[in-house]
A and B are shown apart, each in its own frame.
Chain A
């Protein structure tokens, strides 16, 4: 998938690019609205990550401009201006999602995955983990035809690990995702262990959960061999 990163802050654009390329996204960077439009004319993109505060033109203007010609491209607005009306204005102008700076790159990828599922109709809502079937969309966990009850936070944690499969995630990254701005790094990351313990306990009752690995010194990862 091709991604156009429209961001005037070069080093931030480079970091986003480096993270996405590890996930096999193909990225181009544009530092101004003018460059962005030029890039769009030169080739087709699946995603545009759009910073609102651009040096030449307002990002909203660019969004309205590109929506005239490129209706299929998915747009995620990235901005330090987390004002509510900006969010509304962006979504009204045709953005698919919105992330306020500073955002976590993992969170960005989760949002992108959600858009891919929704917009590009990629049916990866059913994930098989050992003997379990997880339905991301309906938020259910099944062992054969038995449903296993996970709490909301437990399911969020599991689906986040699935999304970033085969990659160790630190407790802090996980707690940031679960509790967002209200996460308390000093103590909330310890609760991740509690949740993981509960997930294992509930699922181990039916079958082994060796796909959920503890990575010493870091955190956890879900191993899926496809």
Chain B
């Protein structure tokens, strides 16, 4: 899940949670506030009553009765005065039920006592509770609508702000990280943001990319320069040896020595040539404008290697489609790729073994398989087969650059290459071409 989605969801959840809690608690809060207000009103009313009694005298209200009671028409409020013998009650507030006019109603009641002419009286002032609760529920309903709208508003604002805030991160991911091909093309302009963390992150990533690019460039340059520099002395050596070999007066026993030297020079030449080839591929010096018939090219490679196939008594099962033409490839590079793979298959095959070269098209993906019945490889060898200068116990010849070249070519031409192998069973190379290779 993306950071922005997580943050938005969290903000929405928190907003909704808190607002829901508030709405849930509203009746209770309302009740508390209402009770407190009622209490205040009841105390004020008690004071009013006491001052009225003080002013008018108790008899004004008792009108000859022993007690006084009165309630409003809707029984929302009542007041009662009666003689009382216990002095312990004073200013008590409670919620209790009273029967008024055959109706049992819950009231918030203030109970107090006062004394007039040595006669203690009990005063009760009550206010109906349901009205308080109903007010609470009504308020809760109305508030809920407002709060839902408020929640939506807050969530939308948060969403937009989070989006705005995280835009730089999105930009960094989109432009610096997603679908980056190596070597990184010149990094685009620095990110414009006021958020320090993002500008720091971006600057760090760009600096890292630059470092990686520089290191890669240096390595490429070194390979290329070293190869070129080596070419001249190798050329001179080779020419000198060739000239010596052409000398008709050369003693017989000198020839094999010169041949040995030629062989060593050749070996040097091959290593340098392979490194040059890799460095040229890596610096993208080859074009992709060729069209190649797979079958014809593989046949050419097989013809080139015919003598080795015959020597080992190998059976070649070539079952490639006649009709497949690959587009947007480089002929020379593709030839080298097939040559190295088939050459390897021959080299590591047991004599009288078989090599299968076949193709298939599945879900629009065209693949070519080169399968040998050779010595195969274990897991460790398989992991390192594309590394330069890595040789294993089976490699009696070569310099460990053949498959490294194959990998460079495959990467360059956009061919996916997978290898499966079983020791003593054989190895299978699977070359997967993209749709673009099949379209003109």
Contacts and interface: CB of A to CB of B under 8 A. Distances in A.
A16 B246 contact: no
B55 interface: no
B287 interface: yes
Contacts of A11: 236, 240
Contacts of A186: 397
A15 B397 contact: no
A105 B232 contact: no
Contacts of B285: 83-85
A80 B287 contact: no
Contacts of B255: 170, 217-218
B234 interface: yes
A19 interface: yes
A185 interface: yes
Interface in A1-46: 9, 11-12, 15-16, 18-19, 22
Nearest to A16: B239
Given A172-B266, A182-B304, A15 B243 contact: yes
B397 A101 contact: no
Contact of A185 (B263, B304, B343): B263
Interface stretch (B138-146, B267-275, B351-359): B267-275
A152 interface: yes
A181 interface: yes
For the residues of B in contact with A, the DSSP-based class is helix
Nearest to B332: A84
A194 B280 CA distance: 36
B206 to A, nearest CB: 31
A106 interface: yes
A131 interface: no
Contacts of A181: 270, 273
Contact of B236 (A12, A19, A106): A12
A143 to B, nearest CB: 25
Contacts of A184: 397
Interface in A170-204: 170, 172-173, 176, 179, 181-188, 191, 194-195
Interface in B212-270: 228, 231-232, 234-240, 242-243, 245-246, 252, 255-256, 259, 262-263, 265-267, 269-270
Nearest to B235: A102
B266 A191 contact: no
Contact of A12 (B235, B259, B304): B235
B107 interface: no
A185 B398 CA distance: 10
B228 A195 contact: no
Contacts of B232: 9, 12, 80, 101
B403 to A, nearest CB: 15
Contacts of B332: 84
B54 interface: no
Given A22-B246, A82-B276, A83-B280, A12 B239 contact: yes
A105 B243 contact: yes
A9 B235 CA distance: 10
A117 interface: no
B282 to A, nearest CB: 13
A9 B236 CA distance: 9
A153 interface: yes
Interface in A210-226: 216-218
A171 to B, nearest CB: 8
12 contacts: A15-B240, A19-B243, A82-B280, A102-B269, A104-B242, A167-B246, A170-B245, A172-B266, A173-B262, A182-B339, A191-B308, A218-B259
Interface of A: 9, 11-12, 15-16, 18-19, 22, 80-85, 101-106, 151-153, 167, 170, 172-173, 176, 179, 181-188, 191, 194-195, 216-218
Interface of B: 228, 231-232, 234-240, 242-243, 245-246, 252, 255-256, 259, 262-263, 265-267, 269-270, 273, 276, 280, 285-287, 303-304, 306-308, 311, 332, 339, 343, 397
